[in-house]
Amino acid sequence: MGKVLHWCALWLTVIAAPVLAEEPPLSLTVLGSGGPGAVGRASSGYLVSVDGAPRILVDAGPGTFARLGETGLSLAKTDIILLTHLHADHAGELPGLIKARAVAVRAPISFSIFGPQGHQAKGEDSYFPATSRFVDQLFGRQGAFAYLSDFSGHITFNIKDLPSNPKAGLKPSVIYSEGDLTIRAIPGHHRDAPAVIYRIEHGGKSITFTGDIDSKGHDDLKTIAAGTSLLVFNAVVLDPPAAPPILYTLHTAPTDIGSLAQQSGAGRLLLSHLSPATDQNRTEVEAAIRRSYSGPIKFAEDKEQITP
């Protein structure tokens, strides 16, 4: 009888034991969902977790440092950084986040950083450094924050300047591969700023980040975003003529966002990099997108976590 009671107790213990939820292969934490203006949202920035571990930082706009702290997430395993382009509202917080990573571990760190090649626009005064030059100007031996390279453990930067000139028929290239984790990239088009579109794949799921793209970047987006689980699309402007004409040479209007999401077969659409115009006119924005796209639509909020 004692043995029977013993086995019954063990059986009940097994039945009553909590079942640990399996971590999703990919998840996204929004560190910044706003645009360049100081309107209460941090600027563009995302942290992608792989099997539950925050591994990949996508853009680093102002305010993302503070939002990271508010989420309670650690950068201890973050070793990949993807920069869509080098405008200040997408890359201005990089030094702070690099320092946060150093403090989190206090040991040698090796970062893989990807971003666009630089250029001097012909006939224009605009100049954009290559990502390698940009990082060197920040953290190199004569950089503005040179001290960080050995601040809390030696930091090594492995930087890859990616092609950023869209061409007809160009296919996405694999820029990172580790087991089942694959990251692909293709040039985008953001007027004179060199830009890159990224797709992260793992465990049968995928997240595609448009960055800022105008109408000339649409073919490249459709190519890389085909069948993506989650499409993160920057939504800065309303449909013409609601915004100044120059903004349509930098960003994609909602009607076109809907068309592109539908053509790419995106499972879900997350609207981010929101400006006051799009944030305050959500009904109008969603109605324009719904003309083409029938999948789930969500407006991003700082600090929220999303599983594709």
What's this model's pTM, rounded to 2 decimal places?
Answer: 0.91
What average pLDDT does the chain have? Answer: 90
Distance from CA of residue 117 to its chain's centroid? 18
CA distance 201 to 160: 19
Q: Where are the domains of the chain?
A: 24-300
pLDDT in tens, 50-88: 999 999 999 999 999 999 999 999 999 999 999 999 999
> So what's the pLDDT on residue 60?
98
Strand partners, 174: 184
* Cα torsion through 78, 79, 85, 86, rounded to 10: 90
> So what's the pLDDT on residue 82?
98
User: Is residue 204's pLDDT more than 80?
Assistant: yes
User: Is residue 239's pLDDT more than 50?
Assistant: yes
Q: Which residues contact 231 (CB under 8 A, 6 or more apart)?
A: 208, 210, 225, 261, 264, 266, 268, 269, 270
Residue predicted with more confidence, 170 or 270: 270
What confidence tier does 13 reach under pLDDT thresholds 50, 70, 90?
Answer: very low
State how far the alpha carbon of 73 is from the alpha carbons of 42, 70, 88, in Å. Answer: 16, 8, 24
Three-state DSSP class for residue 70: helix
Sheet bearing 196-202, strands edge to edge = 173-178, 181-187, 196-202, 205-209, 230-234, 268-272, 297-299
What count of other Cβ atoms lies within 10 Å of the Cβ of residue 2?
6
> So what's the pLDDT on residue 217?
85
> So what's the pLDDT on residue 17?
42
> So what's the pLDDT on residue 120?
66
Cα angle 70, 71, 72 (rounded to 5 degrees) comes to: 90
Distance from CA of residue 177 to its chain's centroid? 17
Q: Tell whether domain 24-300 is in CATH 3.10.129.10.
A: no
pLDDT in tens, 248-260: 999 999 999 999 9
Q: What percent of the chain has pLDDT over 70?
A: 91
Q: What is the mean pLDDT of residues 113-122?
A: 84
Torsional class of 212: left (φ above 0), alpha (ψ -120 to 50), beta (otherwise): beta
Q: Considering only CA atoms, which of 50, 58, 60 is closest in space to residue 100?
A: 60
Residue predicted with more confidence, 9 or 285: 285
pLDDT in tens, 277-289: 999 999 999 999 9
Q: Which residues contact 48 (CB under 8 A, 6 or more apart)?
A: 26, 27, 28, 29, 54, 55, 56, 57, 58, 200, 207
Cα angle 110, 197, 173 (rounded to 5 degrees) comes to: 75
> So what's the pLDDT on residue 4?
46
State how beta strands 26-32 and 45-50 pair.
antiparallel
In 136-204, the DSSP E strands lie at: 155-162, 173-178, 181-187, 196-202
What count of other Cβ atoms lies within 10 Å of the Cβ of residue 188?
28
> So what's the pLDDT on residue 91?
97
Residue type, 286: E
Residue 117: both structure tokens together = 């090649």
> So what's the pLDDT on residue 153?
81
Residue at token pair 């040179």: 146
* Cα torsion through 10, 15, 17, 20, rounded to 10: 140
